[in-house]
């Protein structure tokens, strides 16, 4: 013990005395904890007296607001050290939360604000969400305190969107007394989003109504009032946290992954940066969001849906529109299982103009015959293969042994050839073809084949080819009728 450090007896005396000032009582409790007097001597009468004085300060009408808050924080700290007291202390503090507490920022020490936030986390009151949001917005650099406040706010919110709106309201009311209020607000927003991300993964909370709009307002409304930050580092730090927040929300709240509005803050961030291209420091969060949007497009595409606004997010996320188009085309190429109109949309970047009703009716009627034409094509190709194998040997034998039958056989072979050519032409007019050759081993795809006589493997034997429609570039498109593999 140093010469300046109080003895245990002095600390116990200061902690237990009713005349001890609030700051001195806090110092005495710290000394008792450091010296490991607590929790070992928790039953010492002096400790019990000090605890009683702390609770009395919480409820005394003449207590200064900051001293009342400090007393609540110290009660919580005492309960953390003497854990068996924690439930009783929480119950004793509950009446103090019947009305809204003074502003948390009256406590100048971040550890005190942390303990006060822990007290709020134990209570339930209608005023607490707005109070916690205000404390988060006003918190400067006490990140442990901010994280505790955020956890308490989320725990008292019906859904994520509601919590974000509370934060948006708190930041919009914020008026920092600094030389550059906009930059101050931007720094706090970045720290708040980091705390939100750390907490978001630990809580089961519904996304709520329009969380993307609420997140956008949380950034855009305060900075429109206070001014945008001009320092590049501050801009990049805020944008990085905003992008990662969107990523964490869509990864943990799947219901909003395909909602274009969920990504609305990304466009605001692009404008905030004020450059034609994204800074390289943001490549990592941008790539994560590109993956999120791509997966959302595939998710919708498999249901036959095309969302132009969602596809447009790739343009916002990419520094160059050419890359966005290339990404969309790559999705179409990698996912042949998507409906052809969806793949065409991804390749073109826009929906085709709808055909006239009469033209659509004609096409619908013609498409009804496609499967029959495909089956005829299968039969024609088999017949032509048999004709090619039999033609020369059969005619040669007939010329020797049955010369009178040779002309009829030759005519039959020619008609088989002509019929096969005509069926091929009819199939070509409808862009129909066969996928897979009977007897060959092919990579199994549930889009093209049905498995019989066993379990699916990576490569299987074709028993019957699939009937498909070819795309303008010659690649395989829609499946008219699945083939069979074993």
Separation CA 58–CA 363 (nearest Å): 80
Separation CA 302–CA 336 (nearest Å): 10
Instruction: Give the number of other Cβ atoms within 10 Å of residue 453's Cβ.
Output: 10
Taking alpha carbons only, the member of 130, 106, 105, 132 closest to residue 118 is 132
- Which residues are registered as beta bridge partners of 468? 433, 479
Please report the pLDDT score of residue 354 as a whole number. 52
Mean local confidence (pLDDT), 64-75: 96
Residue 66 C-alpha from the chain's centroid = 41
How many degrees, rounded to 5, is the angle at CA 11 between CA 8 and CA 16?
A: 125
Read off the pLDDT of residues 80-94 as tens digits, 9 standing for 90 and up. Answer: 999 999 999 999 999
Read off the pLDDT of residues 163-182 as tens digits, 9 standing for 90 and up. Answer: 999 999 999 999 999 999 99
What does the mean pLDDT of the chain come to? 90
pLDDT classification of 397: cutoffs 50, 70, 90 = confident
Separation CA 306–CA 410 (nearest Å): 55
Q: What are phi and psi of 463, to 5 degrees?
A: -100, -35
Read off the pLDDT of residues 322-356 as tens digits, 9 standing for 90 and up. Answer: 999 999 999 999 998 899 889 999 999 887 655 54
In this model, does residue 29 exceed pLDDT 90? yes
Please report the pLDDT score of residue 1 as a whole number. 44
Please report the pLDDT score of residue 359 as a whole number. 54
Instruction: Give the number of other Cβ atoms within 10 Å of residue 141's Cβ.
Output: 10
Separation CA 348–CA 306 (nearest Å): 12
Of 280 and 388, the one with more pLDDT: 280
Please report the pLDDT score of residue 193 as a whole number. 98
Q: Helix, strand or coil for residue 484?
A: strand
In this model, does residue 161 exceed pLDDT 90? yes
pLDDT classification of 366: cutoffs 50, 70, 90 = low
Of all residues in the chain, the percent with pLDDT exceeding 70 is 96
60, 70 Cβ separation under 8 angstroms:
no
Separation CA 191–CA 189 (nearest Å): 5
Separation CA 218–CA 223 (nearest Å): 9
Lowest mean pLDDT among 151-160, 259-268, 310-319, 432-441: 432-441
Q: According to DSSP H, which parts of 98-207 are helical? A: 110-121, 128-138, 143-155, 160-172, 181-200
Please report the pLDDT score of residue 252 as a whole number. 92
Residue 252 C-alpha from the chain's centroid = 6
Residue 231 C-alpha from the chain's centroid = 29
Here the tokens at position 106 are: 């009256």
Please report the pLDDT score of residue 399 as a whole number. 82
Of 362 and 17, the one with more pLDDT: 17
pLDDT classification of 452: cutoffs 50, 70, 90 = confident
pLDDT classification of 3: cutoffs 50, 70, 90 = very low
pLDDT classification of 5: cutoffs 50, 70, 90 = low
Q: CA-based diameter of the chain, in Å?
A: 133
Mean local confidence (pLDDT), 197-223: 94
Taking alpha carbons only, the member of 486, 335, 363 closest to residue 429 is 363
Mean local confidence (pLDDT), 235-251: 97
Q: What is the pTM of this model?
A: 0.75
Rounded alpha-carbon distances, angstroms, from residue 258 to 25, 306, 370, 458: 55, 11, 34, 31
Mean local confidence (pLDDT), 196-225: 94
328, 349 Cβ separation under 8 angstroms:
yes
Token pair 């103009």: residue: 353
221 Cβ contact list (under 8 Å, min separation 6): 168, 171, 172
Mean local confidence (pLDDT), 359-368: 58
Lowest mean pLDDT among 151-160, 245-254, 382-391, 431-440: 382-391
Please report the pLDDT score of residue 353 as a whole number. 58
**Count of residues in the chain:** 486
Read off the pLDDT of residues 466-480 as tens digits, 9 standing for 90 and up. Answer: 998 888 888 888 888
In this model, does residue 482 exceed pLDDT 50? yes
Taking alpha carbons only, the member of 351, 16, 143 closest to residue 24 is 16
Please report the pLDDT score of residue 306 as a whole number. 94
Instruction: Give the number of other Cβ atoms within 10 Å of residue 233's Cβ.
Output: 10
Lowest mean pLDDT among 50-54, 58-62, 262-266, 470-474: 470-474
Please report the pLDDT score of residue 223 as a whole number. 95
Token pair 């692009």: residue: 270
């Amino acid at each position: 013990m140093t010469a300046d450090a109080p003895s245990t007896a002095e600390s116990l005396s200061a902690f237990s005395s009713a005349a001890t000032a609030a700051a001195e009582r806090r110092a005495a409790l710290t000394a008792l904890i450091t010296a490991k007097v607590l929790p070992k001597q928790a039953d010492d009468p002096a400790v019990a007296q000090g605890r009683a004085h702390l609770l009395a300060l919480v409820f005394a009408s003449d207590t200064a607001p900051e001293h009342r808050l400090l007393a609540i924080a110290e009660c919580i700290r005492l309960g953390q050290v003497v854990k068996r007291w924690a439930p009783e202390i929480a119950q004793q503090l509950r009446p103090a939360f019947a009305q809204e507490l003074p502003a948390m920022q009256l406590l100048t020490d971040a550890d005190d604000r942390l303990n006060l936030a822990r007290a709020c986390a134990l209570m339930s009151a209608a005023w607490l969400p707005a109070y916690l949001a205000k404390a988060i917005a006003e918190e400067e650099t006490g990140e442990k305190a901010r994280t505790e406040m955020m956890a308490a706010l989320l725990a008292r919110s019906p859904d994520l969107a509601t919590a974000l709106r509370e934060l948006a309201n708190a930041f919009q009311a914020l008026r920092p007394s600094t030389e550059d209020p906009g930059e101050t607000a931007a720094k706090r927003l970045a720290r708040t989003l980091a705390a939100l991300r750390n907490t978001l993964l630990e809580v089961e909370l519904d996304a709520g109504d329009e969380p993307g709009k609420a997140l956008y307002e949380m950034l855009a409304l305060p900075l429109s009032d206070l001014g945008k930050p001009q320092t590049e580092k501050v801009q990049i730090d805020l944008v990085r946290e905003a992008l990662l927040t969107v990523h964490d929300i869509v990864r943990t709240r799947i219901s909003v992954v395909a909602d274009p509005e969920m990504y609305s803050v990304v466009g605001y961030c692009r404008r905030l940066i004020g450059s034609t291209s994204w800074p390289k420091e943001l490549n990592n969060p941008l790539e994560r969001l590109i993956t999120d949007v791509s997966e959302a497009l595939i998710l919708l595409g498999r249901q036959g849906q095309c969302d132009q606004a969602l596809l447009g997010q790739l343009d916002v996320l990419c520094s160059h529109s050419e890359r966005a188009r290339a990404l969309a085309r790559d999705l179409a190429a990698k996912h042949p299982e998507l409906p052809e109109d969806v793949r065409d949309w991804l390749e073109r970047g826009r929906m085709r103009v709808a055909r006239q009703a009469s033209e659509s009716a004609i096409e619908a009627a013609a498409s009804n015959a496609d499967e029959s034409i495909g089956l005829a094509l299968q039969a024609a190709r088999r017949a032509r293969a048999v004709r090619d194998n039999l033609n020369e040997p059969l005619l040669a034998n007939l010329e020797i042994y049955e010369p009178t039958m040779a002309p009829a056989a030759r005519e039959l072979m020619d008609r088989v050839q002509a019929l096969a050519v005509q069926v091929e032409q009819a199939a070509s007019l409808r862009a129909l073809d066969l996928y897979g050759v009977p007897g060959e081993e092919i990579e199994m795809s549930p889009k093209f084949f049905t498995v019989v006589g066993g379990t699916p493997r990576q490569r299987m034997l074709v028993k019957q080819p699939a009937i498909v429609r070819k795309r303008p570039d010659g690649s395989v498109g829609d499946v008219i009728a699945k083939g069979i593999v074993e």
